[in-house]
Amino acid sequence: MNAPRTLIEAAAELGRAFAARAAEHDRTGATPVAQFDALERAGLLRANIPADEGGHGAGLAVSRAIVSEIARGDPSVALILSMHYCQHAIITRAERTASDDWPPALARRLRRASVEGRALLNAAQVEPALGSPSFGGLPDTIAHRTRDGWRISGHKVYVTGAPLLAWINVLARTDEDEPRLGHFLVPRDAPGVRIVETWDPIGMRASASHDVLFDDVALALDDAVALQPASLDLQRNPHSVAWYLSLIGSVYDGVARAARDWIVSFVKERKPSALGGAPLATVSAVQEGIGRIETLLATSDWLLDSHARSVDTSEAPDALAAVVKHAVIANAIEAVDVALDLAGNHGLARRNPLERHYRDVQCGRIHAPVNGLIRANAGRAALGVLPRAKTRADS
């Protein structure tokens, strides 16, 4: 199963199946283990792993379409899947460009594990005091060099899919006289790794984005990735950023499409007595509202698809990814707002999925870079103004 259309169709089928359990997982916040078993059986966990290593070799255009279909069923599952895809995109890009970032043996080990089973991978970067490293500063997670390797200690927050992960890509600084900053590949079941179940948000409740504590975790010397002087701050590759922002946008676009599906069905079936038995769908104001949703989603689909195809051919401007993410998430939030206006009280009833979609889509606001920072950067670029120092106000 390696044709792009077949992969997307498999994702759509699984998305429909996941929708049947999404309300339960939202209510309990339970980790979606069965869903990732199903994704593994369908071969979707290895979608963007190179074909010559047992994957399907999917680029961003196909990967983001898979994520959107899964998100229509359960966006928490889609968010975890997105993070896994992002990490493998980083690894593949590093090898194709002959970068020194990823030791070849480590890259092969991670890909082999993902091909052979449910070996999910995600990064751990955010910390209680630091916040996101995007805003500057060094992490408090420390890598201590030993004779045989490294010892990692620290506290990470918002580690999406934490209980499901096989590997955690941990951002840390060394305690050397001249500190270095880099990533360290930590097996989630290694001695000294502990998950603290802190995740309890209004939406995306099954994403299991818990805290992870690292207490003197032993690693091999070659499990360090992209170590560089800490004075250079965290360097992000534009290609990797494009994958991340596109997939994040696709998650919340999927939420909006699920809301669209529900509201269309609702206005066709709802027949208020005031309309003499005619459905709400016959009211011109309702038709205009549905048309507004369709316009927003059609715009997002074009932005996401054309941007992803440009990334796959290395033609996308670096700054475009953040703009697409901004527009798509804003469109998703507005589309769900319109659906809620059309549904009235029915849209807020827990028995109807629109209430859950409304809570889920709000979480799109918090993914860095936030919209205010994206607009400020775009404004500075247009004005030719040098960027000011980053502050917590940007977060």
Per-residue tens of pLDDT for the chain, all 395 residues? 446 779 999 999 999 999 999 999 999 999 999 999 999 999 999 999 999 999 999 999 999 999 999 999 999 999 999 999 999 999 988 777 666 678 888 888 888 888 888 899 999 999 999 887 766 788 999 999 999 999 999 999 999 999 999 999 999 999 999 999 999 999 999 999 999 999 999 999 999 999 999 999 999 998 998 899 988 878 788 899 999 999 999 999 999 999 999 999 999 999 998 998 899 999 999 999 999 999 999 999 999 999 999 999 999 888 899 999 999 999 999 999 999 999 999 999 999 999 999 999 999 999 988 888 889 888 998 999 876 555 444 44
For Cα atoms 130, 207, 322, give the angle at the middle one, nearest 5 degrees: 60
3-state SS track over the chain: CCCHHHHHHHHHHHHHHHHHHHHHHHHHCCCCHHHHHHHHHCCHHHCCCCHHHCCCCCCHHHHHHHHHHHHHHCHHHHHHHHHHHHHHHHHHHHHHCCCCCCCHHHHHHHHHHHHHCCCEEEEECCECCCECHHHCCCCCCEEEECCCEEEEEEEEEEECCHHHEEEEEEEEEECCCCCEEEEEEEECCCCCEEEECCCCCCCCHHHCCEEEEEEEEEEEHHHEEEEEEHHHCCCCCHHHHHHHHHHHHHHHHHHHHHHHHHHHHHHHHCCCHHHCCCCHHHCHHHHHHHHHHHHHHHHHHHHHHHHHHHHHCCCCCCCHHHHHHHHHHHHHHHHHHHHHHHHCHHHHCCCCCHHHHHHHHHHHHHCCCCHHHHHHHHHHHHHCCCCCCCCHHHC
What six digits make up the tokens of 200? 């309890």
Digit-coded pLDDT (tens) for 52-101: 999 999 999 999 999 999 999 999 999 999 999 999 999 988 777 666 67
Strands 193-196 and 165-174: unpaired
Digit-coded pLDDT (tens) for 262-293: 999 999 999 998 998 899 999 999 999 999 99
Q: Cα(156)–Cα(46) distance, rounded to whole angstroms?
A: 26
What CATH code is assigned to 4-118? 1.10.540.10
Place of tokens 């047992």: 54
Domain 238-394, CATH class in plain words:
mainly alpha
Place of tokens 């992960």: 165
State the span(s) of the chain assigned CATH 1.10.540.10: 4-118
> What is 124-232's CATH superfamily?
Butyryl-CoA Dehydrogenase, subunit A, domain 2 (2.40.110.10)
Q: Cα(348)–Cα(359) distance, rounded to whole angstroms?
A: 10
> Does the bond joining 369 to the residue before it have cis omega, within 30 degrees of 0?
yes
State the span(s) of the chain assigned CATH 2.40.110.10: 124-232
What six digits make up the tokens of 337? 């707002």
Q: Cα(288)–Cα(180) distance, rounded to whole angstroms?
A: 56
Q: Which of 104, 219, 237, 204 is nearest to 167 (CA)?
A: 219
What six digits make up the tokens of 48? 């963007």
> Does pTM top 0.75 for this prediction?
yes
Q: Cα(83)–Cα(332) distance, rounded to whole angstroms?
A: 20
What six digits make up the tokens of 286? 């309702």
Residue 375: how many other CB atoms lie within 10 Å = 14
Q: Cα(231)–Cα(238) distance, rounded to whole angstroms?
A: 20
